[in-house]
Structure formats: structure tokens, C-alpha cells
Amino acid sequence: MPGPILLVFAHPDDESSSVAGTTAKYTECGVSVDLICATRGEKGTRLDVPTEVDTAEAREAGLRVAAGITGIRNIYFLGYVDGDLEKVDTSEIASRIMNIMRKIQPEIVITFGPDGISGHPDHKAISKATTVAFEMLTEAGGGPRKLYYVTIPESVLTDVGSEDVNGVITRPDDEVTTIIDISEHLDTKIRALKAHSSQQDARWLAEIFQQAGEVSGVGREFLYLAKPRKTTKETDIFE
């Protein structure tokens, strides 16, 4: 059995918006998937959250429900403050990620790229720390086999037809290395996004996917193989 896969993201809901379909696709086949979440997202929106429940508690609860939907095995919270991740020394975050990598021994690591897709400073910070952790382990011998960055091809935003995508950073289609067919797991992705019910962005994405059906991009998730580099296209991260 291949794997495990380790997802490394900044906030609850990042994992669902980025790779919920990919996660469900592989966990359904018996592959173990674990998640590192750097913060508990306490600065996010709090739609329909009771006044006696704080935002971080609501977001963690939503993440645990979403993880159950997609089949994530374990969640490792690093406990950093939402919005302040870029203020933390990269080597500190990388060291903590490395310790978890040593414990899990993942074959595949998936995180944000240097642009963070939305440009969010937390996204860029977790990308940098994860890349450093990956490089240090692989240079020492062993370590994960592949490092992927989640990405969005330029053509997908056009296909979806949404005008509310200001700030989203795309990649030229010919630079996207990996396309995962999630058409059979699109409903799972939508349910995972809905589990993050306090988040405006998660609700918005779930609505887009529901309305678009399987139009082009929404039935697929896209990755960029950062390490090791290769030019051929793939449809399976274990190729």
C-alpha cells in the first residue's frame, strides 16, 4: 500500500478547499492521510456560531467533521496564532513539521506553493516552512519522496465563470504537472466544505461547485510537483 500522505496547511478549511477530493479518492483506496494545521483559524468569520462558542473552537470542530468526511486519519495542530504565522521563525515551524514527518514517515507531502494561491501571509509562511522541512529530511537521506504545491490553472477560473476571484493566483496551464480526477468525489468535497459552516469562503466555494456541477475544473484538483522536478504530466501522485 502506498503512502502515507501528509497535508500541511495554515487554517481549518484550507485542506477542504484545496484537496478534499484528492484526499477522499486516496483514503477510499486505503491510503492513510494525515493533516498538519498550523493555526485554529481564530480570526476567520463566524457565521451562525453561538455567542458562547469562540471562533477557534468552532473552526476546530468544523475541521474535525470535514476530516471525518474525507477520511483524514490524524490532525496535528501546531497552535500558532491565526494571521501571525509569518512572524514566527521559519526554522521553528520547519523543525516541528519535521518531527511530525519523522513520526508519520509520509511518502507524499502536499502544501501551498510560495504564492499561497490567495497571497495570504499564513499560506506563504506554511509553504516555506514545509519546503524547508522536506528539503532537510531528504538531504539527510530518506524522507518523503515527493513534495506537491496545490495550484489553480489559469483556464479554470474562466471555466467556472465567477467574477469574485480577485486576488487568486493561478499558474499557466502548461506548468501544472498533476491533474487528479475527483468527479466521483465532488459531492464529498462539497460536504467537507459545508462542514466549515462558519466560514464565508467555504460556503461560497461549496455553492460554486454545486452550481458548476462537473464543468471542467471543478471535477478535478490540480497540483504542481515541486520536488523532484519533472516535465511529464501525471494523473496519480504515486506515479
At 169-217, the pLDDT tens digits run 999 999 999 999 999 999 999 999 999 999 999 999 999 888 876 555 6
Which range marks the domain in which residue 156 is found?
Answer: 5-227
Confidence grade of residue 43 (pLDDT, cut at 50, 70, 90): very high
Average pLDDT over residues 230-235: 90
Structure confidence at residue 210 (pLDDT): 86
Residue 231 confidence (pLDDT) above 70: yes
Residue 176 · residue 156 · CB < 8 Å:
no
Residue 1 confidence (pLDDT) above 90: no
pLDDT tens-digit readout, 89-135? 999 999 999 999 999 999 999 999 999 999 999 999 999 999 999 99
Check residues 219 and 163 and name the one with the higher pLDDT. 219
Would 151 be classed as within a structural domain?
yes
- Say how many residues make up the chain: 239
Would 12 be classed as within a structural domain?
yes
Structure confidence at residue 161 (pLDDT): 52
Domain count of the chain? 1
Average pLDDT over residues 69-75: 98
Which string of DSSP letters, residue by residue, matches the chain?
A: ----EEEEESSTTHHHHHHHHHHHHHHTTT--EEEEEEE--TTS--TT--TTS-HHHHHHHHHHHHHHHHT--EEEEEEEPTT-GGGS-HHHHHHHHHHHHHHH--SEEEEE-TTTTT--HHHHHHHHHHHHHHHHHHHTS---SEEEEE--BHHHHHHHT-S--TT---B-GGG--EEEE-GGGHHHHHHHHHHSTT-HHHHHHHHHHHHHTT-GGGGEEEEEEEES---S-BS-TT-
Confidence grade of residue 6 (pLDDT, cut at 50, 70, 90): very high
Would 203 be classed as within a structural domain?
yes
Residue 30 confidence (pLDDT) above 90: yes
Confidence grade of residue 165 (pLDDT, cut at 50, 70, 90): low
Structure confidence at residue 213 (pLDDT): 63
**At residue 48, what are phi and psi to the nearest 5 degrees?**
60, 25
Cα-Cα-Cα-Cα dihedral sign, residues 214, 215, 218, 220: positive
Nearest alpha carbon to residue 59 among 122, 13, 123, 20: 13
Would 85 be classed as within a structural domain?
yes
Nearest alpha carbon to residue 71 among 42, 134, 10, 28: 28
CATH of the domain at 201: 3.40.50.10320
Residue 218 confidence (pLDDT) above 90: no
Burial of 234 (0-12, 13-18, 19+ CB in 10 A): middle
Would 64 be classed as within a structural domain?
yes
Q: What is the pTM of this model?
A: 0.95
Would 235 be classed as within a structural domain?
no
The whole-angstrom separation of Cα 187 and Cα 53 is 29
Would 233 be classed as within a structural domain?
no
Q: What percent of the chain has pLDDT over 70?
A: 94
Would 238 be classed as within a structural domain?
no
